[in-house]
Amino acid sequence: MFHKFKDIRAVIAWITVILAAGLAVYLLMIPPIKGVADNGDFGRLMRITGFQYLDPNESYSDRYFGYAHQYYTYGGYWGAGYVTTQVLLLAVTGWIARIFNSHVFDIRWLGVMYTLLWSSALYLFIRHVPNVSNRKITTGFVAVTAAVSALFVFGDMAYLAYFQSFFGEPYALIGMLLAIGSAVALTSKDEPSGKLLALFILSALAVTTSKIQYGPLGFAFALLAWRMMALRADRRWHRQVLSGIGALLLCSVLMIVAAPSGLKHINLYQSIFYGVLKDSHDLSKDMKELGIPEKYAGLAGTNYFQKNTVIPQNDTMLREEVLSRLGHRDIALYYLKHPARFVEKLEKAAANGMFIRPYYLGNYDQSAGKPRGAINLTFSGWSEWKVHRMPHTLGWYLGFYFIYFIVLAVCWRRTRSIRTRIALEAYAAVGIAGAFAAVVPIIGDGEADLGKHLFMFNVCFDMMVVSALTGLAYGIARWTPSIRAS
């Protein structure tokens, strides 16, 4: 059957797209409608993209934490202070939806938009898996392995439920998948196109600008883009690549420095009192090293939103004596001087690093009649395995990273193909981005809501797993005589 097709990878990629779209429709869009409940974060995006809750008199318990919402209404564009390019996607989706209903916005419009982008990312990944000895059966084996593993992992309900919400997670997820998929696609072309390069740059920019905490990832993408200079020798290509690098570096810097002062103070409070000083072995010594007056010792171990603290978190003197004087650079320097404390925080991150979904947020619209906070576990095999079966230790993650990068290094050393080397470097960039995504929340927000802040670490880890399984299939197809003879 395979011999009828010129490139079996394209066939399997299109089948994957159809299955992915069908899976998303089945899990999310057929009643009862599923999504993720608002934890209080929706408002900062909704108000600047023209959305409002349909019922202005809805109770707090109905609006937050317990139930996802299918219907919203439109409002004015107002508010500022939250920096993300996700507002463009949300605004465009709203404009399209208004054509069909100018009064009520169905969250499934956003689900459809994310599903289209997600399916496109899967297509790129499957379509450009390695071609094994120009044989359809062996290449098909690798492509099917990639397709099945990608659908099982990234088609998990824990990921898909975000598609029908106003969280930033799906935007970052799809940006990451598209960025690496387009990077690998570029390396598979004899003459990579400017359009494909533009897709890589735009996708990398989407990740970098999706959240302030992802701003540093732009530097890793810029380094990968610089390596792509070698894919073509003409000046036009070099100008295009350099323009992309400039955009990535500029946006990374802007995301880091353009954070609103109020948000900076909140995050800094978390970094200090719910990070460095939380579980301190010598609280007085640590406070003295950071130059924090002893009177604030009672705040150690508290988060910014905690009530009834000994000193209010918005206290003017606290801001002047601590939050306006210290910065995240001071936090980073502290951990550099005290690596054992940093390892302790990494161990906390490892213990929380497997949660793709926030289990305290419900998945069902209230009309479904489900209990408040009910979670949908359909097609959740991967996310549930990670929570209940996978080791949750720093040693496990370090071991996986070590093996992953050793294999990449060996493969990189053995090949002389510049295109293959850059493809391997793209997969290495995933691991580097994952490491960034694990470290930045610790420095930037302490242990506050650590599981949710490690979402991008989950994405990168899962991409590493899928690419490792695909690489294993490639190795089997290439070196197993019985398969090669097929």
Q: What is the 3-state secondary structure (H, E, C) of 376-439?
A: CCCCCHHHHHHHHCCCCCHHHHHHHHHHHHHHHHHHHHHCCCHHHHHHHHHHHHHHHHHHHHHH
Report the alpha-carbon distance of residue 289 to residue 228 in Å, rounded: 44
pLDDT of residue 261: 64
Task: From 461, 363, 429, select the one nearest 228 (Cα to Cα).
Answer: 429
Report the alpha-carbon distance of residue 154 to residue 423 in Å, rounded: 21
Residue 224, both tokens: 């990968």
Q: How many CB atoms are closer than 10 A to CB 115? A: 24
Residue 63, both tokens: 């609006």
Residue 241, both tokens: 């690549």
pLDDT of residue 2: 45
Write the DSSP symbol of residue 166.
S
- Phi and psi torsions of 38, nearest 5°: -80, 130
- pLDDT by 10-residue block (mean), the chain, 486 residues: 71 98 98 96 91 95 97 83 88 96 97 98 97 87 98 99 97 98 95 96 97 92 97 96 98 85 82 96 96 95 92 93 92 96 96 94 96 98 98 97 98 96 98 95 90 94 98 90 49
The residue count of the chain comes to: 486
Write the DSSP symbol of residue 150.
H
Report the alpha-carbon distance of residue 135 to residue 142 in Å, rounded: 11
Q: Are 197 and 228 in contact (CB under 8 A)?
A: yes
**Which H or E run contains 105?**
strand 104-106
Report the alpha-carbon distance of residue 406 to residue 147 in Å, rounded: 25
Task: From 420, 471, 413, select the one nearest 231 (Cα to Cα).
Answer: 420
Task: From 271, 272, 438, select the one nearest 349 (Cα to Cα).
Answer: 438
Q: Are 459 and 363 in contact (CB under 8 A)?
A: no
- Phi and psi torsions of 91, nearest 5°: -65, -45
Q: Where are the domains of the chain?
A: 2-258+357-484, 261-337
pTM, two decimals, is 0.94
Q: Are 146 and 474 in contact (CB under 8 A)?
A: no
Residue 244, both tokens: 């992309």
Residue with tokens 């997969």: 427
Residues 355-410: pLDDT tens digits?
999 999 999 999 999 999 999 999 999 999 999 999 999 999 999 999 999 999 99
User: Rounded to a whole number, what is the largest CA-CA distance in the chain?
Assistant: 77
Task: From 371, 26, 308, 357, select the one nearest 161 (Cα to Cα).
Answer: 357
Q: How many CB atoms are closer than 10 A to CB 62? A: 15
Residue 304, both tokens: 């910014």
